[in-house]
Structures are given as C-alpha cells and as structure tokens.
Amino acid sequence: MHLNTISETHAAVQSDQLFTTSRSYIETSIGLEFTTNKSHWQLFTNIGLIHGASISERIGDLYLASSIDAQDSFRMQNLWLGYENEKQNFKIRVGNQAVDDLFMVSDRSNFFIHGAAAYVFTFSMNAPQWPVASLGLSSSIKLTNHQTLSFGIYGSDPEVTNESINNGFKLRRNYTGSLKIIEWQKTKGNNLLKLGFFSDNNRFGFYDGLTSSLNALYLVKEGLLSPLSSRTELSYHLGLSRTLNDQTAPINYDVRAAIFAKPTTWSKEVTFALGYFYPHVNQDYLENLNIRSESFGELSASLPLNKNATIQFSTQYIHGAGAIEGVNSDPSFLGVLRFYYSF
C-alpha cells in the first residue's frame, strides 16, 4: 500500500492580470501479490482525490499548465490483474488502466510540471490517460536484457475522457472506438530510445467538419551529455511525433527538447531542467477556429528533502495560452511551487 500526495501553488501573469491558485492530489494505491514457482500475479487498484482551482483554465492553456490539473473529483482509476512469467520476460495486464502508465512516458519527460511535457501532443484526445482509464489489455515482452516490446489495446471513447461525464470510476463494456499502440524500447545505463505507433479509429477533432481516425508515429531519445566522472551530470531528452493522416489531425507534429543538470558533489541530489515544447497545429484548425498555435518552455528545479519528500520549483513561459477567438495574444508567465510526499 502506498500513499502519494502532491500540493501546488501557482502564480501567473497574463497581459495586465495576475492569477493565483492552488491545487492538490492525494492518491492511495493497493496491490495484492501472489507468487508461485512459475508465475507472479498482481491485483492493483488506486483511488485519488483531486481538489483545487485550475490555473490552466485561468490562463486558457490548452495543454494543461500542471500535470495534476483535472476536474475536482474523488475517483478510482486503475483496477487490473497482472501476470508475469517465471523468467520475468513476459507481462500482461487486463482491466481498467490508463495508457500512459506504460506507454510514451519516461522519467525525464515526467520531471516537468507542465502536463503535456510527459506525452506526445499528437496523442488522441479520446485516449484513456491520467486521470481517466478504460478497459484494456496491455503486454510487454523482453526481447533482450536491454530491449522491450510492448503493445496494448484500450477502449477509446469521448465519454471516457470527458471528465464532466466520467467524473468517477466506470466499468464499460462498449466503447465507440479502440486505441491500438505498440512501442519498442531500448535502455542501456542512462540511455533510452523509444519508437512507437498508435492508431485510434474513433472520431476526433474540435468540430464535426474535421473528424476521422488518427494514426501517428513517435520517437524519444534520451542520454548523457557528460562523462560519468564529471562534477555535473548533464543529460538530454529529445522527442518527435508525426501524424500520418495529415489533413484531419488537429496537430500535425510536435518537437520537444530538454536538458538536465545534476551536480554530483552536492550532498542533496538536486536536479535542474530546461525544456521547450512545440506542437504544430493544423493550419485548417488555425484558420477555422482562430486558434493561435501554443508552445511553452519550462525551467524547473527539484530538491529532495528526505527519502519521502521532495520540493520542486518551476517557471513556465507559455506562448499563445488563451488565444482562442482572440481572447489573448500575449505570452503568459507562470510560477509553480510543488511539494511531493510519498510513503
């Protein structure tokens, strides 16, 4: 059993306005495990409480300025049964689960507070990603000591991802579509390479004039920039995703880049990171909906207080937030203080 808490305080400047908000997320997870000589079984579930004001709504950020930004609720998310074989080279999960529990994300991309920094922008808006989940089957096969192939199929439905409708845990049998995803991953030391493809045969888009299935490729590369003996460990994160049905996709492609610095001689394991993320919005959407393309950069620092608690500071520069129908065209500056506790 684990308990995780995240508390945030935000301050944002947009044009001549100042916004201050706070938000918290409390989650408890329970896992029951059963092991035999030839297999390992796990039943996992988690329950979370999300509460507070949305800084994303205040500044009009389409991609969520905070990774815990969601509709206030008390909900169960995951409920799945997992199996792992004796050699620990094959795993499978069946049940309600979020696709971003297994696919796309990495430790470095998850470091940033801005929500969209963790996953590709071309990802389907009908996909069950945090804080919602859908009935799915996911599996991973270890090809070698350093390579893994994962695949999954999840129920895809606007009613699942629409939190106004699905403000709580729901088990569904029927979905309006399905999300299929496959990902190859290679890890060696501090280096990571991911190549993935997903296809969602559901309807998507901002309005009925542009809806179709969505197919996209994504690539993630991470590694060290400095020698292991360096007094400061430098590493990087690079990402690219590209849709294959270019005419109807809300976002054609996205590019992401980040650099991390971790002093190795300090008594505390402090990490600094600077990232820039750019989604390229389909020109048809820009013209028809008067949307200004939004991009953002984030400078963040994380300081562990002890083995259970961490404090993180973040400053974000968001270009184009709130620029729907000409509401705002000025950049937004956002400061976030996050406290994380787990035991």
Structural domains of the chain in order of their starting residue, each with its CATH number: 2-342 (2.40.160.10)
Task: Name the pLDDT band for 165 (thresholds 50, 70, 90).
Answer: low
Tell whether the model's pLDDT for residue 329 goes beyond 70.
no
Cα separation of 154 and 14, whole Å? 38
d(CA 76, CA 135): 13
CA nearest neighbour of 296 among 274, 318, 280: 318
Handedness of CA 6, 297, 71, 241 (dihedral sign): negative
The string of pLDDT tens digits covering residues 90-138 is 999 999 999 988 898 888 888 999 988 877 878 877 788 888 888 999 9
* In the chain, % of residues over pLDDT 70: 89
Q: What is the pLDDT of residue 263?
A: 94
Q: The tokens of 24 are what?
A: 């918290």
pTM (predicted TM-score): 0.89
Would you give the distance in Å from CA 107 to the centre of its chain?
A: 11
The DSSP symbol for 291 reads B
**Residues 324 and 57: beta-carbon distance below 8 Å:** no
Task: List the single range of 2-11, 67-76, 242-251 with lowest mean pLDDT.
Answer: 242-251
Mean pLDDT score across all residues of the chain:
87
Residue 206 has pLDDT above 60, yes or no: no
Rounded Cα distance between 237 and 259, Å, is 6
Rounded Cα gap, residues 202 and 257, in angstroms = 30
pLDDT of residue 2: 87
Comparing C-alpha atoms, which of 242, 243, 155 is closest to residue 202? 155
Query: DSSP assignment of 75-137, as one string?
Result: EEEEEEEEEEETTS-EEEEEEEE-GGGTSS--TTGGGSSSGGGGS-TTS-TTS--TT--EEEE
In the chain, the largest separation of any two C-alpha atoms, in whole Å, equals 65
Which tops the pLDDT comparison, 260 or 132?
260
- Residue 273, pLDDT score: 97
- The mean per-residue pLDDT over the stretch 227-242 comes to 93
pLDDT of residue 152: 96
